């Protein structure tokens, strides 16, 4: 109470005024994002789309929601066919929650609209003012949550000169260190990168680089396999950037782009022992369609897998 007593009526008025201004500017009043969902509904959808099978108690804690209120939202999502539950191995009283393919399809346009609205909010500002606004947002969050250790914020950007060389280098070094691959794998990645540059179709293909504090920490690409089929390639997250959902963000960008470009299906090739990547693909609705043992990159124990997602 002593600390609160030092807060003046002018301070309170300023906070309340900013709250009214900002909630109006970002359109958080229902209906949200032009849908029939509330802000809380969309926030729950977001967490389900970006978490690896959370429980209801985890969601309630993360979102500071009443358990009964959250339960009603989840039942509604389940009734729409958006949500699947599986028993938690460690506690049969808990269920692991995951969006179905229909749930991801329902969430995808909302996420894109939210991105578009955020971009529209910043677009009228010159670059220097945009940076000031973003820094001010970081300052508010940092000061109001001083005991928190926020995850590093990764920025996803389009390709620049030098990026393709980094993608080849990062794949070569990382897979040599973690998977004992030889330089044949680096050659494979170099060929994929060269083909992307030489045959680039701007309206149908795209690459993203993830950065934290100006340092490259991840990559992913969408390429055209056929007029109706997109292919996800070269997904990478460096060890320092793992554990914060960046891999899922990169895959979500690919799916959103492919849907926006009216592809009917997205495919990818991976390897059976890359469990973290496989978990991301499965959580996004990709289905394993074929697998085959093979030798390569200095190893004889590999299993290649093809996964597909209906868009």
Domain segments of the chain as ranges = 2-114, 155-310
**What's the mean pLDDT in 223-246?**
94
The per-residue pLDDT for 152 is 66
Top mean-pLDDT range of 17-31, 76-90, 134-148: 76-90
User: 155-310 maps to which CATH number?
Assistant: 3.40.630.30
From 34-48, 66-80, 210-224, the region with the lowest mean pLDDT:
34-48
Quickly state the pLDDT bin for 20 (edges 50, 70, 90). confident
More confident residue, 141 or 90: 141
**What's the mean pLDDT in 105-124?**
85
Domain 2-114, architecture per CATH:
Orthogonal Bundle (1.10)
The secondary structure of the chain, three-state, reads CHHHHCCCHHHHHHHHHHHHHHHHHCCCCCCHHHCCCCHHHHHHHHHHHHCCCCCHHHHHHHHCCCHHHHHHHHHHHHHCCCEEEEEECCEEEEEEEEECHHHHHHHHHHHHHHHHHHHHHHCCCCHHHHHHHHHHHHHHHHHHCCCCCCCCCCEEECCCCCHHHHHHHHHHHHHHHHHCCCHHHHHHHHHHHHHHHHCCCCCCCEEEEEEECCEEEEEEEEEEEECCEEEEEEEEECHHHCCCCHHHHHHHHHHHHHHHCCCCEEEEEEECCCHHHHHHHHHCCCEEEEEEEEEECCEEEEEEEEEEEEC
Quickly state the pLDDT bin for 16 (edges 50, 70, 90). confident
**What's the mean pLDDT in 58-65?**
88
Quickly state the pLDDT bin for 271 (edges 50, 70, 90). very high
The per-residue pLDDT for 136 is 83
The per-residue pLDDT for 151 is 62
Task: Dump pLDDT digits (tens) for 276-295.
Answer: 999 999 999 999 999 999 99
**What's the mean pLDDT in 228-245?**
93
Task: Dump pLDDT digits (tens) for 177-231.
Answer: 999 999 999 999 999 999 999 999 999 999 999 998 778 999 999 999 999 999 9
Judged against a pLDDT cut of 80, whether residue 251 lies above it is answered with: yes
Judged against a pLDDT cut of 90, whether residue 162 lies above it is answered with: yes
pLDDT over 90, % of the chain: 51
The per-residue pLDDT for 78 is 92
Judged against a pLDDT cut of 90, whether residue 147 lies above it is answered with: no
**What's the mean pLDDT in 13-32?**
75
Quickly state the pLDDT bin for 9 (edges 50, 70, 90). confident
Quickly state the pLDDT bin for 3 (edges 50, 70, 90). low
């Amino acid at each position: 109470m002593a600390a609160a007593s030092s807060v003046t009526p002018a301070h309170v008025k300023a906070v309340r005024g900013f709250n009214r201004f900002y909630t109006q500017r970002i359109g958080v009043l229902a209906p949200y994002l032009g849908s029939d969902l509330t802000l809380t509904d969309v926030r729950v959808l977001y967490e389900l789309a970006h978490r690896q099978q959370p429980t209801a108690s985890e969601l309630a804690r993360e979102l500071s929601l009443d358990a009964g209120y959250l339960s009603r939202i989840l039942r509604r999502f389940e009734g729409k066919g958006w949500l699947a539950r599986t028993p938690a191995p460690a506690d049969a009283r808990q269920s692991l929650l995951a969006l179905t393919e229909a749930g991801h399809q329902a969430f995808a346009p909302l996420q894109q609209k939210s991105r578009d609205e955020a971009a529209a909010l910043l677009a009228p500002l010159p670059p220097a003012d945009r940076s000031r606004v973003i820094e001010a947002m970081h300052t508010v969050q940092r000061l109001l949550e001083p005991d928190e250790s926020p995850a590093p914020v990764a920025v996803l950007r389009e390709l620049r000169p030098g990026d393709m060389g980094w993608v080849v280098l990062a794949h070569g070094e990382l897979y040599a260190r973690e998977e004992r691959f030889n330089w044949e794998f680096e050659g494979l990645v170099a060929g994929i990168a060269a083909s992307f540059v030489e045959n680039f179709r701007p309206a149908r293909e795209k690459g993203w680089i993830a950065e934290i504090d100006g340092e490259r920490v991840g990559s992913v690409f969408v390429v055209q396999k056929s007029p109706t089929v997109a292919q996800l390639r070269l997904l990478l997250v460096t060890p320092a950037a793992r554990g914060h959902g960046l891999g899922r963000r990169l895959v979500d960008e690919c799916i959103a782009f492919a849907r926006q470009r009216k592809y009917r299906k997205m495919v990818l090739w991976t390897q059976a022992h890359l469990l973290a990547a496989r978990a991301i693909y499965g959580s996004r609705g990709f289905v394993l369609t074929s697998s085959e043992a093979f030798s390569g990159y200095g190893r004889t124990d590999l299993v290649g897998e093809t996964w597909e997602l209906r868009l």
